[in-house]
Chains A and B, each alone.
Chain A
Amino acid sequence: MPAVSLHGITKRFPGVVANDGVEFEAAEGEVHALLGENGAGKSTLSNILTGLYRPDEGTVELYGERVEFDSPRDALDAGICMVHQHFRLVPPFTVAENVILGDHRGEGGRFLVNPRHIERRVAELGERYRIAVDPRARVWQLSLGEQQRVEILKALYREAKILILDEPTAVLTPQEAESLFVTLRAMADEGRTVIFISHKLHEVTAVADRVTVLRGGKTVATVGTADATPQSLASLMVGREVDVATRVPREMTIGDAVLELEGVGATGDRGAEALHDVSLTVRSGEIVAVAGVAGNGQRELAETITGMRPTTTGRIVVGGKALKGGDSREAIHAGIAHVPEDRLHTGVAPSLSIASNTVLKSYRGTHIARGPMLRLGAIKERALHLISSYDVRTSGPNVPARQLSGGNLQKVVLGREFSGEPRVLIAASPTRGLDVSAIETVHRYIREGATGGMGIILISEDLDEILALADRIVVMYEGRIVGELDAETATKDAMGLLMAGVTEPVA
């Protein structure tokens, strides 16, 4: 009898069918992977299983019994816990407070609570499953990897029988991911059911017993990992044969330095130091990748270079001229283009049309404006040109940007940024959430940009992407550059160690 079985689950959101008759079964004591591209409906399915969403159709059975969850409380009571993709922790609370939050079994106090009382138990669980965190630390002080441990501790503390983890490795170094897998195996060996969501093939084959593949909201297949290869899973996942991202040889003519950072420091949103003494040179025609676990200063680095965040120390030199910093218009004039991490909110103005978005950076230019008046005809022409040359799939230039799919939106952003003929391009996670064909397109544009003489900084957490695109790799850890590797010879292991802050060779 399966621990979890979902039949014919359908969930619709305005304009999308996120789950379309999904079938899913996971047994007691197994690690069951749920594999699928971004947007395949994995998170939606798990939110249904945890009572956050109500399915429009379909049934949920636990250990052979039909259940209906009205709220997460019901799912928790049934022994289901989930580690969400975006953690559900209360940042100002301590670890112990987060662990007992909502735990109404009365341990640590039914009406009166004393989180202190459970600190010992939390520490013990941490030791036993090799996920120790200081129970008195406040969550906002913890790294993302540690926050994930808190989420798992919550589940262990509640003695969850079924644990769902939604893309848990996105915030981990390869080594941290390995150690997470050990923890998950240990939990499964105790008879729990672990549902592990991912879109990374090698992880799935490494940790899971069986895999269910979702594509476009439908179940494609459930296979044992023993009989699967990364290639066979990849083609199930995208519905056709694909090559896993590979290095494409590129004609390189490396020129002069276009961007130099000299000892740059900056503070983060919380006022703590986010960048410390960062020095980096990018030359014309070169792609420099910045690798690192999310939250180690990459976003602040991009914002500092593009003038969205002031520097506290050091200087930024573009094409031989120092910037005063903290002024995005100055950065644009100096020839710095930016493909931001959050393309929908930072990259475009979502409610404005595609046409308006294409001129957001150049509305002062004489070809677009005459004095204070915009030349709407010229703007439209320009947008049409961008739409055709970048193959943006849309019904026209007046469509609001928010209606574009992720890949097409990214093409608009790239088209706008490239049209200014920049010297330097800062691309932050440019392919996150895109489908395979859109990724190919974005990669092609980045390569072409470099061939055309731009200096490019590629910020990415996807090591495959970095290895496929970069000429040089620098690794960031806690706001510092902790190492530099040649992309030809770099390995994921070497990057992973640096990403964990290990700079000394391990004895």
Chain B
Amino acid sequence: MNNSILVVVLASAVTYGTPLLYSALGELVAERSGVLNLGVEGMMLVGAVMGFWAVQTIPGPGPLVLILSVGVAAIAAGLMALIHAFLVITLRANQIVSGLALTIFAGAGGLSSYLGNDLNLADAPAKHAFGAFFPHGMQTLPVLGPIFFEQNALVFVAWVFVAGVAFYLARTRPGLNLKAVGESPAAADAMGINVTRYRYIHTVVGGAFAGIGGATFSLAITPQWVDGLTQGAGWIAIALVIFAFWRPALCLVGAYFFGAFAGLPFTLQARGVTIAPELFQALPYVMTILVLVTVSAAGARRRLGAPGALGTPYVREER
């Protein structure tokens, strides 16, 4: 029963959906502050490579090293987001251009590849990796075993993140302020909320989430470092935010839905079914096109519930 195609697909949906979920949540947090960051793919790749470097380098017991490595991935990607924040918040650069530039700079063929090759991370087996979180006995349970108990800790932490972000937005004062900053920065400013600070913090935190998303590949799914290992997951994450109408809980559903697609070629291959892999490889690009079309149609954005000031800088003394 645990080998039935449905169970396998669902299990891989959760596995491959998890990095999407982290990154989409991060993008959601940034976008709620009004900052669009198309650099997710680049930030994920930097997170993936730095996380893997940390796991190979830091001495100590496995669980601790893994936790620290995820932290390193988050910080590295957060620093990437800080560059974007500086460009678009302080220098008021165009957010789309800056985000794309970030992906080109940091992504495959850029900084992340350079780091991976320079630090000799390629082809090395991981010293530690996230394995199944629950004891072996539970993994063999029918249906729930593969879908749930075989999963690694990062899967469950992601749920905590979803709940945390949802709670933050709905129930806390900083969350309320954040939404105001993303909707009408002029109103937030007049009420004494520091728009610049809110945007910086949430852009950087959003980037850190993307770093964890990247580390999910290199520390759990693969687990090793391969150049460009995210294969467009960052773009899907950006699209996901839109399809989730900027709501954390819907991000979860969407991430697993797209995770199923992302995992499908591997699942099918393992069973000897061959579908043209190009079909699936094209998916991220199709998504990207959809995103860019949606994001550029301001009317559509409004109707979908996008933050009112998404993509626009705020300057107090300008009319």
A positions within 8 Å CB-CB of B: 13, 50, 52-53, 71-73, 76-77, 82, 84, 86-93, 97-98, 100-104, 109-114, 154, 271
**A/B interface sample: 26 pairs, CB < 8 A:** A53-B317, A72-B189, A72-B191, A76-B191, A76-B192, A87-B187, A88-B189, A90-B180, A91-B184, A92-B308, A93-B183, A97-B176, A100-B176, A101-B191, A102-B180, A102-B191, A102-B193, A103-B191, A109-B173, A111-B174, A112-B171, A112-B173, A113-B173, A114-B171, A154-B191, A271-B303
Residues of B within 8 A of A76 (CB): 191-192
Bound: A87/B193 CA distance, A = 16
The answer to whether A90 touches B187, judged by C-beta atoms less than 8 angstroms apart, is yes
Residues of B within 8 A of A50 (CB): 190
The answer to whether B317 touches A102, judged by C-beta atoms less than 8 angstroms apart, is no
**Known contacts A93-B180, A111-B173, A113-B173: A101-B317 contact under CB 8 Å:** no
Inter-chain contact total with CB atoms closer than 8 Å = 80
Minimal Cβ-Cβ distance residue in B for A158: B191
Residues of A within 8 A of B317 (CB): 13, 52-53
The answer to whether B190 touches A84, judged by C-beta atoms less than 8 angstroms apart, is yes
- Residue B194 is within 8 A (CB to CB) of chain A in the complex: yes
Interface residue from B179, B184, B188 paired with A102 (Cβ < 8 Å): B188
- Residue B103 is within 8 A (CB to CB) of chain A in the complex: no
Minimal Cβ-Cβ distance residue in B for A50: B190
The answer to whether A88 touches B191, judged by C-beta atoms less than 8 angstroms apart, is yes
Contact with A along B174-186 (1 / 0, CB 8 A): 1011011001101
SS of B interface (majority): helix
**Known contacts A52-B316, A91-B184: A112-B172 contact under CB 8 Å:** yes
User: What is the distance, in angstroms, from A152's C-beta to the closest C-beta of chain B?
Assistant: 14
SS of A interface (majority): loop
User: What is the distance, in angstroms, from B31's C-beta to the closest C-beta of chain A?
Assistant: 15
User: What is the distance, in angstroms, from A45's C-beta to the closest C-beta of chain B?
Assistant: 14
Residues of A within 8 A of B176 (CB): 97, 100-101, 113
Contact with A along B143-184 (1 / 0, CB 8 A): 000000000000000000000000000011110110110011
The answer to whether B190 touches A91, judged by C-beta atoms less than 8 angstroms apart, is no
The answer to whether A73 touches B192, judged by C-beta atoms less than 8 angstroms apart, is yes
**Known contacts A50-B190, A89-B187: A101-B177 contact under CB 8 Å:** yes
Bound: A72/B188 CA distance, A = 10
The answer to whether B187 touches A88, judged by C-beta atoms less than 8 angstroms apart, is yes
The answer to whether B172 touches A52, judged by C-beta atoms less than 8 angstroms apart, is no
Quick one: which of A71, A73, A82, A101 has the most chain B CB within 10 A?
A101
The answer to whether B177 touches A102, judged by C-beta atoms less than 8 angstroms apart, is yes
User: What is the distance, in angstroms, from B188's C-beta to the closest C-beta of chain A?
Assistant: 7
Quick one: which of A53, A71, A271 has the most chain B CB within 10 A?
A71
The answer to whether A90 touches B179, judged by C-beta atoms less than 8 angstroms apart, is yes
Residues of A within 8 A of B194 (CB): 71, 73
Bound: A84/B191 CA distance, A = 12
Residues of B within 8 A of A52 (CB): 189-190, 316-317
